[in-house]
């Protein structure tokens, strides 16, 4: 992205902010009523800490279920209530980061659980968590939030009940937006794409390897989904063509696996790659990632949101313009503990347990963050990225808000896992991890047949 776009975006939000500065803006009074949008991992984690602080809160959840993306749902396109599908879960998924980096504080999986349990097991864990902390009674299901507006001294949160289709508006003193970041699929465009006669889907809609048995399939992309689906499909399909440009230690997938460079164009029955080669395929799965989507944010919220970024946020969560609204879970390249820590930070803020700096100081801190990114050669789309700063971030928000300090060993495990995954893609999940102390962990080979889940709920 050109520098011009940087300065333009920075200037824009600086202007809108400075126009709005009022006295006492950085202070957040204890909320007499807080609202959380979404009952996934992030929303549930926030709810637990709000409950611990005695905040009066409601979670608005669009679907009939908690657990967000961790709940497998066979519907494609829209669900039984006509909602767009928020979950991207598929059969046989196993988590790709050790559970230690994902567990809620003080609520570990049963000790015998393998370090990389199935997605289904993680969903059970979330249900157990909600039960244990008595959160379900605070969740108002089938409530799709369609608008959040700033109304001078409170938020007007409008939602549609999916059973009655009626709209309701409620007042909230504090809003935590935890609506997820992996439900709006990114579709690339290639020449000839509309002439292709086979089936094209995004990994968001992928459910089951059986749909691809004995078919000739093209997978596009080698992010977490692309690599995972290559594992799931290579011994099921008649041929698996994998187009990507990741450099990694490619394992032996199967005799019919073919690696290809990026796509040049589609034809009616196949695809031509950048090297000029051609492959005939029946189905295409685009594993090309997700955009942010926050269709319910009114202009009055004061947030600039696009598919690629949400800004300006203090500490990756707080809406600088109106700090009684915060995001939990719009950070990229994180371990899930970051989302949990954000939930604790935001709950402490809603409860009035600590004081934010002035609005001007928050904006300065954000601009410093932006300049630091730029100095590292990063772009505006990286503004929500935490990545290797996770441990500094943990230290920082602990210092500011007095919340639990997530130990450095967690970030070390994440970094090791991310690297080792690309070295030994087919076997990296066969290891177990254990934390020894704040700086050290143990790791040993311990494959489990059938991936048993000791949680029964
Ligand atoms: C297929 C897949 C695999 C993953 N695997 C891993 C992994 O192995 N390890 C890892 O660390 N992370 C993984 N992740 C990342 C995952 O997103 C996080 O683990 C975490 O679940 C994010 O939780 P969340 O609560 O922020 O979002 P979500 O789980 O998406 O929950 C958001 C909730 O908000 C609700 N909602 C959305 N919009 C509205 C609205 N307008 N009104 C009301 N409710 C709304 C949704 O229905 C949903 O229940 C994976 C993600 C995907 C998609
Ligand atoms: C909590 O908020 C709801 C909705 O505004 C309100 O009806 C209820 O009285 C509040 N409860 C307490 C204990 O303040
Ligand atoms: C509810 O609001 C939506 C806009 O978000 C609108 O399209 C719909 O007609 C409204 N429903 C009713 C029953 O008024
Ligand atoms: C597919 O099967 C072959 C032969 O059993 C095996 O070597 C290979 O590891 C399998 N591929 C995957 C991705 O599991
Ligand atoms: C913590 O974050 C704030 C806001 O980004 C920043 O101003 C401050 O320098 C950071 N402190 C540390 C110790 O990193």
Residue 369, ligand 5, Cβ within 6 A: yes
Q: Which of 411, 434, 441, 406 is nearest to 115 (CA)?
A: 434
* % of the chain at pLDDT higher than 90: 93
Please tell me the number of the ligand nearest to residue 339's CA.
1
pLDDT recorded at residue 15: 44
* Atom 6 in ligand 3: residue holding the nearest Cα: 167
pLDDT recorded at residue 8: 45
Contact 159, 267 (CB under 8 A): no
Closest ligand 2 atom, residue 170 Cα: 5
Q: Which of 230, 233, 236, 237 is nearest to 251 (CA)?
A: 230
Common-topology check for domains 28-184+290-410 and 193-286:
yes
pLDDT recorded at residue 11: 47
CATH number at 193-286: 3.50.50.60
Pocket of ligand 1 (CB under 6 A): 37-43, 60-63, 68-70, 86, 88-89, 95-97, 102, 144-145, 178-180, 182-183, 296, 329, 336, 339
The CATH number for 28-184+290-410, chosen from 3.50.50.60, 3.40.50.300, 3.30.1130.10, 3.90.480.20, is 3.50.50.60
Per-residue burial over 237-270, b if 16 or more Cβ lie within 10 Å, else e, is bebbbbbbeeeeebeebeeebeebeebbebeeeb
What are the boundaries of each domain within the chain? 28-184+290-410, 193-286
Neighbours of 199 (CB within 10 A): 14
**Whether the predicted pLDDT of 21 surpasses 50:** no
Pocket test for ligand 4, best of 94, 254, 424, 429 (most atoms within 8 A of CB): 254
Contact 263, 241 (CB under 8 A): no
CA–CA gap between residue 98 and residue 352 (Å, rounded):
34
**For all residues of the chain together, what is the average pLDDT?**
94
At residue 23 the predicted structure's pLDDT band, cuts being 50, 70 and 90, is: very low
**Whether the predicted pLDDT of 9 surpasses 80:** no
Residues 6+ apart with CB under 8 A from 369: 383
pLDDT recorded at residue 29: 75
**Whether the predicted pLDDT of 361 surpasses 70:** yes
pLDDT recorded at residue 22: 43
* Atom 1 in ligand 2: residue holding the nearest Cα: 56
pLDDT recorded at residue 27: 55
Residue 392, ligand 5, Cβ within 6 A: yes
pTM, to two decimals: 0.95
> pLDDT for 291-348, tens place per residue?
999 999 999 999 999 999 999 999 999 999 999 999 999 999 999 999 999 999 999 9
Residue 195: HSE in the Cβ half-sphere, 13 Å Cα cutoff: 10
Residue 79: HSE in the Cβ half-sphere, 13 Å Cα cutoff: 18
Per-residue pLDDT, averaged over 259-285, amounts to 98
pLDDT recorded at residue 24: 38
> pLDDT for 179-217, tens place per residue?
999 999 999 999 999 999 999 999 999 999 999 999 999
């Amino acid at each position: 992205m050109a520098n011009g776009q940087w300065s333009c975006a920075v200037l824009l939000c600086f202007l809108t902010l400075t126009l709005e500065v009022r006295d006492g803006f950085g202070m957040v009074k204890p909320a007499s009523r807080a609202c959380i949008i979404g009952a996934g991992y992030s929303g549930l984690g926030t709810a637990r800490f709000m409950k611990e602080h005695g905040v009066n809160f409601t979670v608005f959840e669009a679907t009939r279920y908690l657990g967000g993306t961790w709940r497998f749902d066979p519907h494609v396109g829209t669900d039984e209530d006509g909602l767009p599908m928020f979950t991207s879960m598929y059969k046989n998924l196993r988590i790709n980061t050790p559970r230690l980096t994902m567990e809620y504080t003080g609520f570990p999986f049963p000790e015998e659980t393998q370090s990389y349990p199935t997605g289904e097991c993680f969903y059970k864990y979330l249900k157990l968590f909600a039960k244990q902390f008595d959160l379900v009674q605070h969740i108002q299901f089938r409530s799709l939030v369609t608008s959040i507006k700033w109304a001078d001294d409170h938020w007007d949160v409008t939602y549609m009940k999916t059973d009655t289709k009626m709209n309701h508006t409620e007042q909230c003193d504090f809003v935590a937006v935890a609506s997820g970041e992996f439900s709006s699929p990114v579709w690339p465009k290639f020449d000839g794409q509309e002439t292709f006669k086979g089936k094209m889907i995004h990994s968001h809609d992928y459910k089951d390897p059986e749909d691809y048995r004995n078919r000739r399939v093209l997978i596009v992309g080698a992010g977490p989904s692309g690599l995972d689906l290559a594992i799931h499909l290579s011994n099921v399909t008649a041929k698996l063509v994998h187009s990507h440009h990741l450099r990694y230690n490619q394992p032996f997938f199967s005799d019919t696996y073919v690696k290809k460079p990026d796509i040049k164009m589609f034809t009616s029955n196949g695809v031509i790659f950048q090297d000029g080669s051609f492959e005939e395929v029946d189905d295409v799965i685009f594993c090309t990632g997700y955009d942010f989507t926050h269709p319910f944010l009114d202009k009055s919220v004061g947030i600039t949101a696009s598919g690629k970024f949400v800004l300006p946020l203090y500490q990756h969560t707080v809406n600088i313009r109106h700090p009684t609204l915060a995001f939990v879970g719009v950070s990229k390249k994180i371990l899930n503990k970051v989302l949990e820590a954000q939930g604790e930070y935001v709950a402490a803020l809603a409860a009035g347990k600590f004081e934010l700096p002035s609005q001007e100081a928050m904006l300065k801190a954000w601009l410093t963050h932006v300049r630091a990114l730029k100095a590292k050669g990063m772009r505006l789309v990286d503004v929500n990225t935490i990545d290797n700063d996770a441990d500094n971030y943990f230290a920082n928000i602990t210092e500011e808000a007095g919340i639990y300090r997530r130990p450095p060993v967690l970030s070390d495990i994440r970094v090791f896992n991310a690297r080792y995954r690309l070295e030994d893609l087919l076997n990296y999940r066969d290891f177990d991890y254990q934390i020894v102390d704040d700086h050290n962990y143990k790791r040993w080979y311990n494959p489990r047949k059938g991936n048993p889940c000791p949680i029964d709920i």
